[in-house]
Structure 1
Amino acid sequence: MSPTTDPAATGAAAIEVRGVAKRYGTRDAVIALDGVDLTVRQGEFVCLVGPSGCGKSTLLRMMAGLHRPSEGEVLVHHDGTGRTPTAMVFQDYGIFPWKSVRANVRFGLDVAGVPRAEATRTVDSWLTRLGLADFADAYPATLSGGMRQRVSIARALAVEPEVLLLDEPFAALDAQLRTVLQEELLALWQADRRTVVFVTHSLEEAILLGDRVVVMSARPGRILADLPVPLPRPRSAETRGEPAFAALEQQLWSLLRDEVSRTFDGGSPA
């Protein structure tokens, strides 16, 4: 990841992916991504979908600075506020089992050297907003999967990142809880319009949450389509009943059907 300085402006690029390729190994290298170009604007909610093994998670980790491209570059532009550039939420929660809920949420603030009183106010605010205040002193092992994912999201948001990166954060949850957390995430995003990049296998989830849905091919991952979501905001669970929702879901599946089939003919997991 190559951070750059860019003044905040409506519609300005928050992330630019330019000609990115990713290879693993040298002899008989596995090509995870090839020739990926993508721009995410400030304040956009962009969802990445594609078959298993297409490099969605790899691309997200490049945006977070956890992986480097083999070719090309990933630019994360600062918005001029001095906030943390990116924060990431993982599918497996990624929280520390030996720390309480409160300590997990304040971890990034402590690392950044935020004064104790300010960090406490910030943590208390996010615990309240995500319904965790009554569990502040609990440990992850005593929490449900949904509560643990709330802790992970609170920890990411507590550092006030310019860009929030989410890697299938609700994939392991049951359908009812997934719906609840989707609505909570929508409410949080609609309140502050933070830039979000969200990886998911669920076309329905991508349409409900995103401003755009970026469709990736089977490995090596390339961008097949970049489709706007023609549904007004604010959105809720009832948005799924809109005719435009069903039409876009069918369009996305028509793009992905052959790509998913290709994963059974020599593809591999992400």
Structure 2
Amino acid sequence: MNLRECEILIKSLEAEKAKIEDVNTTYYDELDAQIKRIQRETYNNLSAWDRVYLARHADRPKAQDYIELLFDNFYELHGDRGVRDDKALIGGIAYFDGIPVTVLAQAKGKTTQDNIERNFGMMNPEGYRKALRLAKQAEKFNRPIINIVDTSGAFPGKEAEERGQAQAIADCLYTFSNLEVPIISIVIGEGGSGGALALSVADRLAMLENAIYSILSPEGFASILWKDEGRAQEAAEVMKLTSYDLLSKKVIDAIIKEPLGGAQECIEYVVENMKTYIAQELKDLRKMKTKDLVDKRYTKFRKIGTL
């Protein structure tokens, strides 16, 4: 039973429970125990495709939710000073445990209209150039950078290519490689293609437990490799895109735990784990000399490139 089928079954069992007027009956307890057993067995044996499903879940917390709970006095900054403001990227300054930081967050919408305004989290060139502008500002004022990654990929439209999409992403890769401030990136949902990689060149790269991080979507992978998008589930297993796969390959540095059922079940639990991780890593990174910080970042990604 995959996760989607599990959710359908649990909903039917919960609907059956709701019909029972007396909650003290044996039947009610049996249904409750059955639901918990199914949840436990399913979530303790998640496949890669199940984690893809969770990473894309409509109720999964978005970047906006984490910004609100992780940071104090967040002040959003807009525009790339060239074309326009890309709402697929939320960027600004804030405090984290009293430390001034720059926050760069890829943002999907919570509603259909919001998703349209934010282009479903797919950034245009001006979004990456906004990220570059704010990253250089962070370096100027010696502020650590916290990146929140959640995108299926950069926007693939013709107009984006005309405005230099590839160059904008390349500039991000180059610039973040050499920034003289600590950088921490966390993948909270989808981390797809160069669109995600542009904000993933960091001293520490972590993933939420049920996030995914890959060169492209499983559907795209299946279409290219097998000419059959319907084999996406098989592709997800082959791609090794889960947090556990990538930690074992040392592509990422840490997994941030989620509650049973995913981050949407208790965002406070996830935020506490994120706070603990960021606080410890910032403490260590801020102690490092600038040259050592940049050199270790370079070495880190050179090693990944040889995997």
Q: TM-score range by the shorter chain?
A: 0.3 to 0.5
Greater length-normalized contact order (CA 8 Å, ≥ 6 residues apart) = 1
Structure with more strand by fraction:
1
What TM-score, normalized by structure 1, do the two folds share? 0.32
Q: Which has the higher helix share?
A: 2
